[in-house]
Amino acid sequence: MNTWLWLNPNPLLPHLGMQQFFHALIWLAVLSWSGVTCLPSYDRRWRWLICSTAALLVLWVWQAVLPVLGMVFQTPSLMTLCACLVAAWGDIRGPSVKLFSHTDTRIGPWSWLGLVMIGWCLCLDAFGLLPWDVYSLGFDARLPWWGWGLAGLWMVAAYLTGLPDGHAKAATCWLVATGLYVATHAPSGNAWDAWLDPGLWLYAHYQWVKTGWFQRTRINHS
């Protein structure tokens, strides 16, 4: 414990080296995922290798891109990192189809709505428009335990009630992201930053509208 405190005087914040490592690692995963979505689906194994190598070269050769990405977009969350890894693993092992196009792995609109609402609370809190401080709760050591408990209940419900496979995967991502946060306090020492980032928040808006429209269309056709 004394050695850890000497290396990192503030245990609530990640060490500078840890911040830099996860900043590069998460952006590598995000850039790889972004490139994969633009390539043909039948090259699913090679496209991850090609895009990951290209993203790694970009980050290594053009090192100035990392500070720029940090200032403009911050560091993506650990949840985003886990989602990209799950997407890569499922896409490589699964059938040759376009990424995230399986209808049986969709997450319902209510799950995406939860992310949207949490993001709006944090956004309004950043501008001081809420009567309570939501973001500071992310430094509370009890919040990750709440995350673990809710993610565990979500996973159990997904397996017992026969929810689409996407629910179990999302719960697993939440559990792993929380575990990484507890172990490293990355990316900022705040649990909210480990679970949600602006990019994931905007993506949740898109998926919420898309899944809601998909369900409405399916009901009308049935």
Q: What is the mean pLDDT of residues 66-74?
A: 61
Phi-psi region of 162 (alpha: psi -120 to 50; beta: other; left: phi over 0): left
Q: What is the mean pLDDT of residues 104-124?
A: 85
Question: Whole-prediction pTM value?
Answer: 0.79
List the domain boundaries for the chain: 2-217
| 38 band by pLDDT with thresholds 50, 70 and 90 | confident
Q: What is the pLDDT of residue 213?
A: 67
Rounded to whole angstroms, the Cα distance separating 200 from 177 reads 14
Tell me how far CA of residue 33 lies from CA of 2, 13, 181, in angstroms.
40, 28, 22
pLDDT single digits (tens) 118-175: 999 999 998 888 888 999 999 999 999 999 999 999 999 988 988 888 888 899 999 9
Two structure tokens written together for 187: 């990316």
Rounded to whole angstroms, the Cα distance separating 12 from 27 reads 23
State which amino acid sits at residue 13. Answer: L
Q: What is the pLDDT of residue 3?
A: 44
**DSSP-H helix ranges across the chain:** 2-7, 16-36, 44-61, 65-73, 78-93, 109-126, 143-161, 165-184, 191-195, 198-221
Rounded to whole angstroms, the Cα distance separating 44 from 98 reads 9
Q: Which of 113, 94, 114, 89 is nearest to 104 (CA)?
A: 94
161-166, Cβ contacts within 8 angstroms, sequence gap of 24 or more: 163/108, 164/104, 164/105, 164/106, 164/107, 164/108, 165/104, 165/105, 166/105, 166/106, 166/107
